[in-house]
Amino acid sequence: MPSAPAADQIRLLDVQALDLRAQQARHRRDHLPVLEQIAELTARLVDLDEARVASATRASDLRRAVQKAEDDVQSVRDRAARDSARLASGTGSPKDLQALQAELEILVRRQAELEDVELEAMESLEQAESEHASAKEQVDAITAQIAELAVERDAAWAQIDAELAGLAAEREAAAAGLDAGLLALYVKLRDAHGGIGAAALAQGQCLGCRMPMNPGDLRDIEAKSPDTIVRCEECGRILVRGAGK
């Protein structure tokens, strides 16, 4: 059965306590409430930015549609102006003038139709530009919120990182000179058992798994040399005896 100085086994509990504190600090670092807020806002930002891009594209398309409608209306107006001028001049045969009059009437109706198309396109453009402005405003607001939360996150991370650095220094000091085999076994068990590789034996139970031991097992443990490394029969962790003495 492996062994290590009893004093080293007791000191191992100090290492365990520091490792637990570091584990808790890392958990806090990974689960800061601000991280969830940033994630939620970032997801919203993605959706809003897609809406902003879509509205910008639609507004661009509608600007071209408005320009085309304006050009079409202007073309009809120019043609009607030329026909009106020719009609007013009285130049041409009665048949030609009659044809001009008929064409002018058609152009007037066509102009009215095209102006309706132009108006509809302009109204659609106004709505698209309004939607784009609203989406951009929301994108800017959420981007600013995320930036503020990132400052809060970075400050919290810096504080926890400083705490972890201090714990690492304390842990190094606590582990200095410990039996190498004992420390290696502890690390292996710690990694396999949720961060706890060693626990005190107190009041007839392992403080790692909180399982009480029967009197026979306790007598067997007490009969072993203080330097013998004892393992909990239930959880397999190192049982540290005499920690409370």
Judge contact between 170 and 46, C-beta under 8 A: no
Residue 31: φ, ψ to 5°? -125, 35
Q: What are phi and psi of 77, to 5 degrees?
A: -60, -45
Q: Which tokens in the block code for residue 68?
A: 């085309």
pLDDT of residue 227: 96
Give the per-residue pLDDT at 149: 97
Greatest extent of the chain over all pairs of C-alpha atoms, in Å: 134
At 1 the pLDDT is 63
Question: How far is 235 from 121, CA to CA, in rounded Å?
Answer: 75
Extended beta strands in the chain, E state: 198-202, 205-206, 230-231, 238-240
Residue 168 φ then ψ, to 5°: -65, -40
The CA-based dihedral angle spanning residues 137, 141, 146, 149, taken in that order and rounded to the nearest 10 degrees: 180
For the chain, how many residues are written? 245
Asked if 225 and 4 count as a contact pair (C-beta separation under 8 A), the reply is no
Q: What is the pLDDT of residue 245?
A: 53
| Torsion sign, CA atoms 83, 84, 89, 90 | positive
The pTM of the full predicted model, rounded to 2 decimals, is: 0.72
In the numeric block, the tokens 């001009």 are attached to 100
Tens place of pLDDT per residue across the chain (245 aa):
699 999 999 999 999 999 999 999 999 999 999 999 999 999 999 888 888 888 888 888 888 888 888 888 788 788 888 868 777 777 777 787 788 788 877 878 888 888 788 888 888 888 888 888 888 899 999 999 999 999 999 999 999 999 999 999 999 999 999 999 999 999 999 999 999 999 999 989 999 999 998 888 899 998 999 999 999 988 999 999 987 55
Q: What pairing do the DSSP bridges indicate for beta strands 238-240 and 198-202?
A: parallel
Sheet holding 198-202, edge to edge: 205-206, 198-202, 238-240, 230-231
Tokens 């007791």 — which residue?
Answer: 10
Q: Which two tokens stand for residue 206?
A: 């392992």
Q: Is 212 left (phi over 0), alpha (psi -120 to 50) or beta?
A: beta
The Cα 241–Cα 222 span in angstroms is 9
Tell me the chain's radius of gyration from C-alpha atoms. 42
CB neighbours of 152 closer than 8 A, spacing ≥ 6?
34
Q: Which fold has domain 32-161?
A: Helix Hairpins (1.10.287)
Residue ranges per structural domain of the chain:
6-26+179-240, 32-161
